[in-house]
Amino acid sequence: MATSRKISKERLALKMSLAGTVLLASLGIGYGLYVGSSAILLDGMFSFLSMGMTGLSLYTAYLVSRPDDRQFQFGYAHIEPLINVVNGLLILVTCLFAFISGVQTIVNGGHDIVLEHALVYAVLSTVCCFTIYAVEIRIAHKEASELVRVDSQEWLVDGILSAAILVGFLLVMLFDHLGYSRWNAYVDPILVSTLAIAASVLPIKVLKRNLREVLLVAPQDTTQQRVDRVIERLSRQFHFDGYTHHFAKSGRQYDLEVNILVKNDAYWTTKRQDYIRQLLWEELSDDLGDTWLSVTFTGQERWL
């Protein structure tokens, strides 16, 4: 029941995000072309990319809730970090192109914008982005959803972009008032370049975290330490002749394989082996949640 409720809230958050990206992408690209602002156009293009990735994340949320089948016999959990990596790469590439575009515009002497219309967009976009971010980050923390967390980071980046664009346009008004209007043509490209650098920090963090899961790197955290302690304690308590274990995280699923060396066949009956499996599950289920657990017993060290 709890898993079903989590999936329901996750999908609701992503549907809300998708509706928001459709609205802001249309406004951003339309306003950007109309007022001649590269910063607004970047904001709109960012929303457009987010629209595609949110749709993909929503589909992924449906996939990872499905049980394993004949094609994906280990389930669909591994798709989640893969989608997050693609998502992070697209955001990073967008930031790179935006930075290059901003620098080129500065070198070419900048350009003027239609200020009044640009301010309307900047206010609407800033309020919308931070509102959706606040809702999504709350759901992500409550439901422990990496999909919603990554999507909320996109809204945070987009909100920072919009807020900075708003500040930049207010600076244009200030320059006009102080008699420095000749510098107004450079405000928009400087904003684009600066924001592109600042916004690239978040996708880099997303890539770092999710690439580890795609590459099946063992999680170096308290969960890993908890698994190590539990297996070591059981080894001492039940006198294993040896053991190895392999641990990885893929999306919302942990994969734990434990290989136990036992040499006394009479002592290690099938019932006792199942008892060890049950103990492992009971000890770790709260920490690992949805886990692919495999526990094998062998009398030969080469199978460890």
> Does residue 234 sit in the same domain as residue 137?
no
Res 230 pLDDT > 70: yes
> Does residue 152 sit in the same domain as residue 228?
no
> Does residue 175 sit in the same domain as residue 235?
no
> Does residue 156 sit in the same domain as residue 39?
yes
B/e letters for 120-154, b = 16+ CB within 10 Å, e = fewer, are: ebbebbbebbbebbebbbebbeebebbbbbbbbbb
pLDDT level of residue 253 (50, 70, 90 thresholds): confident
Mean pLDDT score of the chain, rounded to an integer? Answer: 81
Kindly state the helix (H) or strand (E) to which residue 296 belongs, with its residue range: strand 291-298
> Does residue 125 sit in the same domain as residue 177?
yes
pLDDT level of residue 269 (50, 70, 90 thresholds): very high
Which DSSP symbol is given to 218? P
> Does residue 202 sit in the same domain as residue 235?
no
| Predicted pLDDT at 221 | 74
Which DSSP symbol is given to 76? S
Res 134 pLDDT > 60: yes
| Predicted pLDDT at 1 | 42
CATH of the domain at 238: 3.30.70.1350
- Average pLDDT on 194-208 reads 81
- Average pLDDT on 171-193 reads 78
> Does residue 120 sit in the same domain as residue 71?
yes
> Does residue 181 sit in the same domain as residue 261?
no
Q: Which segment, 90-104, 148-162, 229-243, is predicted with the most confidence on average?
A: 229-243
> Listing from the earlier edge strand, what are the strands of the sheet with 242-250?
242-250, 253-261, 291-298
Q: Which of 214, 243, 275 is the last residue of a domain?
A: 214
> Does residue 291 sit in the same domain as residue 210?
no
- Average pLDDT on 36-64 reads 73
CATH of the domain at 191: 1.20.1510.10
> Does residue 250 sit in the same domain as residue 172?
no
CA-CA distance, 135 to 152, in Å (whole number)? 9
Res 69 pLDDT > 70: yes
> Does residue 170 sit in the same domain as residue 58?
yes
> Does residue 93 sit in the same domain as residue 30?
yes
Using alpha carbons only, give the angle 181, 186, 190 rounded to the nearest 5 degrees: 140
Q: Which of 214, 241, 264 is the last residue of a domain?
A: 214
Q: Which segment, 107-116, 232-241, 288-297, is predicted with the most confidence on average?
A: 232-241
| Predicted pLDDT at 202 | 76
Determine the structural domain holding residue 55 and report its residue range.
Answer: 2-214
Q: Which of 189, 214, 239 is the last residue of a domain?
A: 214
Read off the tokens for 177.
Answer: 């008032």
CA-CA distance, 168 to 124, in Å (whole number)? 15
Read off the tokens for 227.
Answer: 């698994």
Domain count, the chain: 2
Residue % of the chain over a pLDDT of 90: 15
| Predicted pLDDT at 4 | 53
CA-CA distance, 24 to 150, in Å (whole number)? 18
What is the chain's percent helix, strand, coil content, to nearest 5?
A: 75, 10, 20
Question: Structure pTM?
Answer: 0.68
pLDDT level of residue 296 (50, 70, 90 thresholds): very high
